[in-house]
């Protein structure tokens, strides 16, 4: 077996990344090493690649980044049971303590001691990745690696959509990147009412319509997004707002468009602080506002597996560009252009 591997490293605390030859990582008794077969770029990876305020505050360097992947188990630690070399797997990206109040009360996804795969712990943009055995998620052998690696972001979409009542309610999906597009499919699958997609890019709005959005709104000069969302709901306002963009302007417009007693679930990561008129937009409307991070461990994984098994959602249309890892600059440029859905690295 070789002793080195190729990895994409966030080497310095500034924009960009470098491809490096690295030692193949060893594993501890409770860990698993996985030969990565496919990985995908997430919006979080764009924050890291571009190096914004959020990245400066949260990302450890130098570090292999990337956290969405699928592969084959290469080696298991001496204490690992129920996992064997050759198994096809993905992994949950939150590495939690298992002992705090949050972990012991069903809220491990917000464990205050979390280390995050590809953010504060080594990630998957490499030939091999190591994770805790408890984080390993088995994959159906019939699920191709390039689709299996999308389960992590699909989990974000499922968690966001299902964080409150949605059946029969009007929905705005703001930010139709890959997770937003997944959220449209999930909302449709679980019985949402009218779904409106909001995005700056015609390409993504076209995909949103293809995947189940009933109407599309493109913000821009002369377009009052909040007013348009109200018009599309006969003046009533949006009942469920799913915010995937992280744009301060988009968040403000969505809050303005929300119906009283509505629910807003915020997944997008703003690059800087966002001023909000809490009195007018939240308190006097009686809004529920949910902060969404990752997936509920491990409830969301079971939910998304059920949706995939039932064929209620289809990930294949989302994989519209594939690259090898050595073409990472081209891949990140494409991701930043908005002229894509999901970009997958084939390893």
Residues 6+ apart with CB under 8 A from 343: 40, 41, 321, 322, 323, 331, 334, 335
Distances (CA, A) of 11 to 41, 60, 236, 255, 330: 18, 9, 50, 38, 19
6 is catalytic: no
Catalytic-role residue among 3, 47, 131, 252 = 47
Q: How far apart are the first and last CA of the chain?
A: 17
As a whole number of angstroms, the distance between CA 117 and CA 60 comes to 11
Tokens representing 94 are: 């939150």
- CB contact at 8 A, 241 and 174: yes
Tokens 């930043």 correspond to: 336
The DSSP call for residue 24 is: P
Catalytic-role residue among 44, 131, 225, 233 = 44
47 is catalytic: yes
Q: Is 43 helix (H, G, I), strand (E, B) or coil?
A: helix
Label residue 338 exposed, middle or buried (CB < 10 Å: 0-12, 13-18, 19+).
middle
**3-class SS string, 59-82:** CCCCEECCCEEEEEEEEECCCCCC
Q: Catalytic amino acids?
A: 44, 47
């Amino acid at each position: 077996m070789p002793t080195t591997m190729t990895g994409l490293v966030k080497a310095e605390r500034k924009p960009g990344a470098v491809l490096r030859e690295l030692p193949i990582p060893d594993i501890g008794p409770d860990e698993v090493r996985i030969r990565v077969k496919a990985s995908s770029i997430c919006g979080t990876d764009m924050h890291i690649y571009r190096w914004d305020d959020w990245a400066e505050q949260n990302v450890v360097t130098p570090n292999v980044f990337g956290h969405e992947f699928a592969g084959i188990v290469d080696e298991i630690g001496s204490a690992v049971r129920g996992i064997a070399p050759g198994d096809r797997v993905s992994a949950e990206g939150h590495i939690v303590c298992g002992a705090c109040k949050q972990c012991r009360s069903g809220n491990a996804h917000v464990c205050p001691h979390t280390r995050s795969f590809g953010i504060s712990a080594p990630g998957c943009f490499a030939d091999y990745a190591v994770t805790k055995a408890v984080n390993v998620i088995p994959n159906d052998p019939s699920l191709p690696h390039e689709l299996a690696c999308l389960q992590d972001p699909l989990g974000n979409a499922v968690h966001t959509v299902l964080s409150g009542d949605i059946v029969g309610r009007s929905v705005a999906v703001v930010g139709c990147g890959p997770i937003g597009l997944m959220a449209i499919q999930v909302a449709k699958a679980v019985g949402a009412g009218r779904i409106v997609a909001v995005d700056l890019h015609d390409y993504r709005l076209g995909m949103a319509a293809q995947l189940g959005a009933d109407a599309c709104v493109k913000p821009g000069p002369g377009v009052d997004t909040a007013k348009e969302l109200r018009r599309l709901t006969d003046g009533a306002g949006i009942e469920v707002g799913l915010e995937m963009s992280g744009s301060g302007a988009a968040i403000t417009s969505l809050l303005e468009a929300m119906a009283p007693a509505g629910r807003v679930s915020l997944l997008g990561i703003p690059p800087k602080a966002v001023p909000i008129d809490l009195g007018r937009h939240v308190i006097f409307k009686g809004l529920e506002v949910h902060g969404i991070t990752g997936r509920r461990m491990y409830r969301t994984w079971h939910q998304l597996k059920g949706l995939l098994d039932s064929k209620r959602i289809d990930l294949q249309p989302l994989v519209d560009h594939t690259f090898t890892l050595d073409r990472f600059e081209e891949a990140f440029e494409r991701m930043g252009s908005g002229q894509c859905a999901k970009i997958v690295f084939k390893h």
